[in-house]
Structure 1
Amino acid sequence: MKVSVIVPTWNEASNIEACVDSALRCGAAEVVVSDGGSSDGTLEITESLSDRRVRCLRAPSGRGVQLRAAAELATGEMLLFLHADNRLPGDALEQLRQADWPVWGGFRQHIDANGWRYRWLEWGNAWRARVRSNVFGDQAMFAQRDAYDRAGGFAAVGLMEDVMLSAELRKITPATLLPGPVRVDARRWQQRGVLRQTLLNWRIQHAFAKGASPDELRQIYDR
């Protein structure tokens, strides 16, 4: 299958080149970078990359909006959505092939920090994806184009777009969790603290399940 890797960005100048490089090294047919108004040179760095497989898109801000816009332009039969501060393993596409091109799913993670708390997070995130078929964006969610379209694609929202898409995709079939690991920047846990960030994530998921809108959740997250 032809694989399109889609990367949403906002002020990711320090990460974008390594992120795109990880996608190209594992054999992506194209990488579509969807920028939501960066002011730090993210888009300029991306546009300066010499590989013809890299495409750039200016989109309104909001991760769901950016992902949806890029997916509409992507030409691959398999769409793989990669956060800018994540890195794909070199054999990511080979893992997809060996699994006979799963309908949708994600990868196990390795958070780039030492300590049992991070290993616990990795285990919990893998459990959530494998048992509950709830795949988060930093697990490099992937979906066959047909399934993505049947599920309605990413909602044009600023938060919870991954949870919303997972909910629709698991109506089609359970998620497949591949070994990975996708390397994940630990910055948000290090900035807020592992426990505080985890409790915030749980609070947001609980509020969403109770009917809070993505805009309301965005305000909670930013505070």
Structure 2
Amino acid sequence: MKKVSVVVPIYNEGSNVSKLIDILLETDDIYEVIFSDASDDGDAKKIIEANGFSYIKSPKGRSFQMNEGFKQSSGDIVFFLHCDSKIEKNCISSIIKASENGVNFGCLTIAFDDTRLLMKICGFMSNFRVNHRKIAFGDQGMFFSRELFTKLNGFAEIPIMEDYDISIRAKKFEAVTKLDDRIITSSRKYYKGYGRFNYGKLSFIGILLNMWDMQVYQHKFRAGSSLEDINRMYYKK
């Protein structure tokens, strides 16, 4: 049976680390878990290692952290998981089965932890993008065979949109396959519309602005705009 390494980039995640560890301990067929930390959270290190998982330090930046986690991994398949996501018990088993059936690049079916209608639409549109444009984002739980990820030279070490970039580059070898297994992803990035407005928890305006902004960022990326400019727009610096 193929082995799956789970790589989790973290940065000041607080209680999310403990919550994810609880989920991973109940998940079948995990070979190893590597938390790649860009912060100085001593508590995270203690709880990660106390549960038998690996903890490594990395330069800040999700692409750097995931690449460093990959370098430290030894599985046949590497599954990149965000710390604020939840996976199902049989998720890893499904990834192994897909890999044994020839899938080298895949992701999961996304749903958000807020179940209001507009967030369900966001989830639908994300899954539609994977099915029809063959573009996966990091919050959809991307996984790669070691061979393909090595061939791609990993994630481009850029400040933003490393997931979009690798999806495009991977298409030259193999389009992404979406599994039916669900990944429940946090809605926290929708709460304030990336700083434009603040109407409290998960504002309607924030959701709409986020959906619009994601299309703008993708267009700018394809048009060759400066990644530093896109990064400033994203974080409203």
- 2:119, 2:78 → 1: CA distance? 28
- 1:100, 1:199 → 2: CA distance? 34
Residue 44 (structure 1) shift: 2.3
- 2:207, 2:114 → 1: CA distance? 11
Contact 1:20 1:31 in 2 (8 A): no
Deviations 1:71-129 (A, max 9, x none): 11111110000011111111101222343542111001110112111111111111111
Contact 1:16 1:46 in 2 (8 A): no
Match of 1:55? 54
- 1:79, 1:25 → 2: CA distance? 19
Q: Secondary structure at the match of 2:109?
A: strand
Change beyond 3 A, Cα 1:100–1:32? closer
- 2:186, 2:23 → 1: CA distance? 14
1:15 aligns with 2:1: no
- 1:111, 1:79 → 2: CA distance? 23
Q: Which has the larger radius of gyration?
A: 2
Amino acid across the alignment from 1:160: M
Deviations 1:40-61 (A, max 9, x none): x3x5224323232x11111111
Instruction: Structure 1: give runs of 5+ residues left out of the alignment.
Output: none
Amino acid across the alignment from 2:37: D
| TM norm structure 1 | 0.92
Match of 1:66? 65
| Count of residues in correspondence between the two structures | 219
Q: Secondary structure at the match of 1:171?
A: coil
| TM norm structure 2 | 0.87
Q: 2:31 aligns with which of 23, 29, 32?
A: 29
Amino acid across the alignment from 2:83: A
**RMSD between superposed Cα atoms in Å:** 1.5
Deviations 1:155-209 (A, max 9, x none): 1122111011111211111211011210111111123211011111111111111
Contact 1:17 1:46 in 2 (8 A): no
Contact 1:7 1:32 in 2 (8 A): yes
Match of 2:197? none
Contact 1:80 1:143 in 2 (8 A): yes
Amino acid across the alignment from 1:34: S
1:111 aligns with 2:124: no
Change beyond 3 A, Cα 1:156–1:100? closer
Contact 2:16 2:83 in 1 (8 A): yes
Amino acid across the alignment from 1:71: F
Q: 2:228 aligns with which of 206, 215, 218?
A: 215
- 1:79, 1:110 → 2: CA distance? 22
Contact 2:99 2:145 in 1 (8 A): no
Match of 1:178? 179
